[in-house]
Structure 1
Amino acid sequence: MRDEEILAEFRAADALLEGHFILSSGLRSPRYLQCARVLMNGARAERLARALADKLPASIRDSIDAVISPAMGGVIIGHEMGRALGKPAMFVERPDGTFHLRRGFALEPGQRVLMVEDVVTTGLSSKEAIAAIEEAGGKVVGAASLVDRSSGSVDLGVPFIPLIRIDVPTYAADDLPAELAAIPAIKPGSRAAA
């Protein structure tokens, strides 16, 4: 799937938003990709997950035992990736502010895991999810996401494969350009801003 086709999927779902957004990292942005909207259509979610699965190097795709994603944003794409790869899909969640496997999800020691996210900007949630997977006994062999907003700068400590890289500027709240400062900010994500 080419970048134009991927962006067309976001546009068709009204999931490519323009305005003043507060990201989970606390940074501000003039554009926001609402992955929940693009994934709410099952056929679209399946197409995007299959395209992402096809981008994985064979060394990762053929070696994983399970797919694990962080809740909330990664749950749908993680499930769809599990389906595309024919592997069980689980998720970690933050009942006490720290990611853990719950709901009867468990890993055997050394199980090889692909960690899957919806969007990566700073990589904080991904790194926290990877730490939780390792704490549960898994070995993270790769990470994947629908969107890389980090401008290619994120280092998750494992190979990282995004479906698309989108370079959208981000700003500190106290260093906004005038046109962004003039628009009321909204927080569309699932995690409280840092």
Structure 2
Amino acid sequence: MTDEEVLSEFRNSEALLEGHFKLSSGRHSGYYLQCARVLMNAERAGRLALALAQKLPRELRGQIDVVVSPAMGGLIIGHEMGRALGRDAMFLERPDGVFQLRRGFRLEPGARVLMVEDVVTTGLSSREAIEAVKAEGGDVLAEVALVDRSAGEADLGVPFYPLVAINFPTYAENEIPAELAAIPVTKPGSRSK
């Protein structure tokens, strides 16, 4: 799947939004990718997961024991990646602000994990999720994401394979351009900041 084909999936599902958004990372942007909309169609979600699985080196695909994703954003694409790879899929939650496995999910000691995210902007959620997997005894081999918004700058500490890289500018609270600041802010992400 080409970058343009991926973006077309976002456009066709009205998942590429324009306005003033406060991202889960705390940064601001004039664009937001609402992955829940692009993933709400199971067929489309499956196509995107298959394309994402193809981004992984073949030898790495064969090493994966289980797929783990952070809830909420990574849950659907994580499940679809589990299906695409023929592996179980689990998710992490933050009931007390820190990622952890719940609902009876557990990792076997040394389990080789593929971390799956929807969007990576700063990599903070990914790094926190990777640390949670390590605390549970797992070994994160790599991470995949539908979208890399980091301009290639997110250091996750593991190999990273995004389906598409989109470099919409983001701004710290004190760097917001006047034209963006003039638009009322919307906070569509799943993490409170």
Alignment pair present for 1:4 and 2:14: no
Percent identity, please. 69
Give the letter aligned to residue 184 of structure 1: P
Q: Secondary structure at 2:54's aligned position in 1?
A: helix
The C-alpha deviation readout for 1:119-173, integer Å capped at 9, x for no partner, is 0000010001000111101100000000000000011111000000000101112
Regions of 4+ moved over 4 Å: none
Q: Secondary structure at 1:67's aligned position in 2?
A: strand
Q: Distance between the aligned counterparts of 2:191 and 2:180, measured in 1?
A: 22
TM-score, normalised via structure 2 length: 0.99
Q: Where do residues 86-105 of structure 1 align in structure 2 (5 Å cutoff)?
A: 86-105=86-105
Give the letter aligned to residue 2 of structure 1: T
Q: Secondary structure at 2:175's aligned position in 1?
A: coil
Which residue matches 1:29? Answer: 29
Which residue matches 1:80? Answer: 80
Which residue matches 1:71? Answer: 71
Give the letter aligned to residue 111 of structure 1: A
What is the Cα-based RMSD across aligned positions, in Å? 0.6
Gaps of 5+ in 1: none
Which residue matches 1:39? Answer: 39
TM-score, normalised via structure 1 length: 0.98
- Report the Cα offset of residue 180 of structure 1: 0.3
Gaps of 5+ in 2: none
Q: Which moved more, 1:117-126 or 1:174-183?
A: 174-183
- Report the Cα offset of residue 59 of structure 1: 2.5
Which residue matches 2:19? Answer: 19
Give the letter aligned to residue 172 of structure 1: A
Q: Where do residues 1-194 of structure 1 align in structure 2 (5 Å cutoff)?
A: 1-193=1-193
Q: Distance between the aligned counterparts of 2:116 and 2:129, measured in 1?
A: 9
Q: Distance between the aligned counterparts of 2:142 and 2:171, measured in 1?
A: 29
Q: Distance between the aligned counterparts of 2:34 and 2:94, measured in 1?
A: 21
